Amino acid sequence: METNKTRTCQSCGMPMSEAEHFGTEADGRLSKDYCTYCYQNGAFTEPGATIDEMAKKCGAIMSQLYDIPAGNAERFAREQLSCLRRWTGRDVAVCRSCGMPLLRDEDAGTEADGSLSTEHCTYCYRDGGFTEPDLTKEKAVEKYAPMMAANLGIPLARAEEMVRQYLSTLPRWRG
């Protein structure tokens, strides 16, 4: 398994970059899909958990970390969770530039030959190239943070911190 690649826990959405973040399979190998809090010895630690319970739990953590009003944090957590394999039953790719889930064909960008991209969304990538090829990570933070601040009802500085951390997990911006 490539441990040098950050993966997202497909149950709670936690980014996993170090070996100790990963859960374990029944044979002791590291799980490539689930984190150590969600998955141990080949099974979910809370097998009966529902997406709503998970959203409450993750929302509470986010609310604390970023001072997000609890209701907003829970709604946001639920949106994030609804793209993960444990809750959808399938793998949903996320845009490697902005993190948008590619749920439907119309969400996907296009390659030079007109086929749909499996890696980038329609806002970031068209005809085989980035729509904003000169975008830097810091410019991306400036671009996305105001939307995040408005969506979550948090100060802009907090939203910038959140977006910056999130973008660091995406292949386009990983240093």
The binding site for Zn ion (CB under 5 A) comprises: 9, 11-12, 14, 35, 38, 95, 97-98, 100, 121, 124
CA distances from 170 to 57, 83, 98, 106, 163 (A): 24, 16, 7, 21, 11
Cα 5 to Cα 28: distance, rounded to the nearest angstrom: 20
User: What DSSP assignment string belongs to 44-75?
Assistant: ESSTT--HHHHHHHHHHHHHHHHT--HHHHHH
User: Are 146 and 73 contacting, i.e. CB atoms less than 8 angstroms apart?
Assistant: no
CA distances from 41 to 11, 22, 35, 37 (A): 15, 11, 12, 11
| Smaller CB separation from Zn ion, 69 or 171 | 171
| Smaller CB separation from Zn ion, 124 or 162 | 124
| Smaller CB separation from Zn ion, 41 or 157 | 41
> How near is the Cβ of 148 to Zn ion at its closest, in Å?
14
On the CB side of 164, CA atoms within 13 Å amount to 10
| Smaller CB separation from Zn ion, 41 or 153 | 41
> How near is the Cβ of 68 to Zn ion at its closest, in Å?
19
| Smaller CB separation from Zn ion, 84 or 159 | 84
> How near is the Cβ of 81 to Zn ion at its closest, in Å?
10
> How near is the Cβ of 23 to Zn ion at its closest, in Å?
7
> How near is the Cβ of 98 to Zn ion at its closest, in Å?
3
Cα 11 to Cα 86: distance, rounded to the nearest angstrom: 5
